[in-house]
Amino acid sequence: MPNSPANPDSPANPNIPDILERDRSGMPVSPSDPEYAAISEIIHESMRLCAELNTGYHTPEETHDMFERIVGHPVDPSFRMNPPFHTDFGHNITVGRNVFVNWGCVMMDRGGITIGDGTFIGPNVQLITTNHDRNPYNRPTTISRSITIGERVWIGAGAIVLQGVTVGDNAIVGAGAIVTHDVPENAIVAGNPAQVIGSVADSIPTHSA
């Protein structure tokens, strides 16, 4: 009999990327995977750094420096944030210039979160890129997909943006909205699930040539 093919989900298979790449790219990841320790290590370090950030008062400069430690790369000096802040990973968060994140935000970023220039994130907003397998017998397995927030977006207090969503430039997400699908540029959305209820287009100045 011919040899059985290699398990395509095996980390020993040379044709697949490592677990961090698989996790970021939307492939299913199980805690029982032999490589899962690489994810777990970053999660626990992020927990430690968030606990440090969220304990006591820090100056804006200290907060900025601690956020850079959480995400693991340089962040533009114009970035501002009011702790407390929570993330399950941190390394897959990218923020642009003049971004403001208000109190109590949660960013579960294993699938990747990108926030464009000039965007405001209201208090207690949640950006969630990770979901669990629907199969109840495989529930520990997670699938992560990216969230992209455009430029000059305003996400209102308590809104939740779920995995795989892109919010277009200039859009407004109303307080308490649950965003399950892409939001067009210039749209105002609200509700659960969020629906388009208006446009900011009339508020955008036109520039003569």
Single-letter residue type at 56: G
Helices (H), the chain: 19-24, 37-53, 60-71
Task: Kindly name the residue from 64, 86, 91, 132 that is annotated as catalytic.
Answer: 132
Whole-number CA gyration radius for the chain: 19
Our answer to whether residue 91 is catalytic in this structure is no
Question: Closest Cα to residue 178, out of 157, 192, 198?
Answer: 192
Query: What is the signed CA dihedral for 29, 146, 94, 149, rounded to 10 degrees?
Result: -160
> Quick check: 79 and 95 in contact, CB under 8 A?
yes
The pair of three-digit structure tokens given for residue 155, joined into one six-digit string: 């996400």
The per-residue DSSP string of 179-202 comes to E-S-B-TTEEEETTTTEEEEESGG
Catalytic residues: 132
